Copies of this chain bind each other. A is one copy, B any other.
Amino acid sequence: LDYQHVQVPFEITLWIMLASLAKIGFHLYNKLPSVVPESCLLIFVGLIMGGIIYGLNDKSPPVMDSDIFFLYLLPPIVLDAGYFMPSRPFFENIGTILLYAVVGTIWNVFGIGFSLYGICQVKAFHLQDVSLLHNLLFGSLIAAVDPVAVLAVFEEIHVNEKLHILVFGESLLNDAVTVVLYKLFRSFCEMPAIKSVDVFAGVGKFFVVGLGGVLVGLIFGLTAAFTTRFTKDIRVIEPLFVFLYSYLSYLTAEMFHLSGIVAIIACAMGMKRYVEANISLKSHTTVKYFMKMWSSVSDTLIFIFLGVSTIGENHEWNWPYICFTVIFCLIWRALGVLVLTFFVNRFHVNTITSKDQFIIAYGGLRGAICFSLVFLLPDFHRKKLFIAATTVVILFTVFIQGMTIRPLVDLLAVKRKRESAPTVGEQIHIRFLDHLLAGIEDISGHWGQYYWKDKLEYFNSKYLQKILLREYDQPKSSIVLLYEKLERKHAIELAEAGQLGRAPSHPSLLRSGFLCSNNRTVITDKKLEDTLNPDVLENIQEILARNLYRIRRTGPAYNRHTLPGETEPVEHAKEILILRHKSL
Contact = CB atoms under 8 A, between A and B. Distances in A.
A568 interface: yes
A500 B491 contact: yes
A5 B560 contact: no
Interface string A249-286: 00110111100000000000000000000000011011
19 contacts: A6-B251, A13-B248, A20-B244, A38-B560, A237-B293, A239-B289, A488-B492, A488-B495, A492-B492, A493-B573, A498-B542, A498-B549, A499-B584, A501-B507, A501-B545, A502-B505, A512-B580, A512-B583, A520-B569
| Residue of A293, A507, A520, A548 with highest tally of chain B CB at under 10 A | A293
A224 to B, nearest CB: 10
B488 A20 contact: no
Contact of A285 (B286, B498, B500, B501): B286
Given A236-B289, A501-B505, 14 more contacts: A1-B256, A2-B254, A6-B255, A13-B251, A237-B296, A283-B289, A285-B285, A286-B289, A491-B491, A491-B492, A493-B577, A497-B549, A497-B581, A517-B572
B584 A502 contact: yes
Contact of A517 (B248, B292, B573): B573
Contacts of A6: 71, 251, 254-255
| Copies of this chain held together in the complex | 2
Given A495-B491, A505-B501, A520-B569, A563 B288 contact: yes
A339 interface: no
Nearest to A34: B556
A378 to B, nearest CB: 16
B573 A541 contact: no
A443 interface: no
A364 B146 CA distance: 56
Interface residues of A, number: 113
Contacts of A520: 568-569
B499 A546 contact: no
Interface of A: 1-3, 5-6, 8-10, 13-14, 16-17, 20-21, 23-24, 27-28, 30, 38, 67, 71-72, 151-152, 155-156, 158, 227, 230-231, 233-234, 236-237, 239-241, 244, 247-248, 251-252, 254-257, 282-283, 285-286, 288-290, 292-293, 296-297, 419, 484, 487-488, 490-507, 512-514, 517-520, 538, 541-542, 544-546, 548-550, 557-563, 568-569, 572-573, 576-577, 580-581, 583-584
Contacts of A514: 576, 580
| Residue of A497, A499, A507, A572 with highest tally of chain B CB at under 10 A | A497
Contacts of A241: 20
Contacts of A17: 244, 248
Contacts of A155: 558-560
A583 B581 CA distance: 31
A17 B572 CA distance: 36
Contacts of A285: 282, 285-286, 289
Given A237-B293, A293-B236, A293-B237, A498 B493 contact: no
A558 B416 CA distance: 13
3 shortest interchain CB distances as A-B pairs: A498-B545, A501-B506, A491-B491
Nearest to A67: B5
A550 B255 CA distance: 53
B20 A240 contact: yes
A13 B244 contact: yes
B2 A498 contact: no
A516 B222 CA distance: 43
A550 B496 contact: yes
Contacts of A244: 13, 16-17, 20
A294 to B, nearest CB: 9
Given A244-B13, A255-B5, A560-B155, A296 B236 contact: yes
A544 to B, nearest CB: 7
A490 to B, nearest CB: 7
A127 B557 CA distance: 50
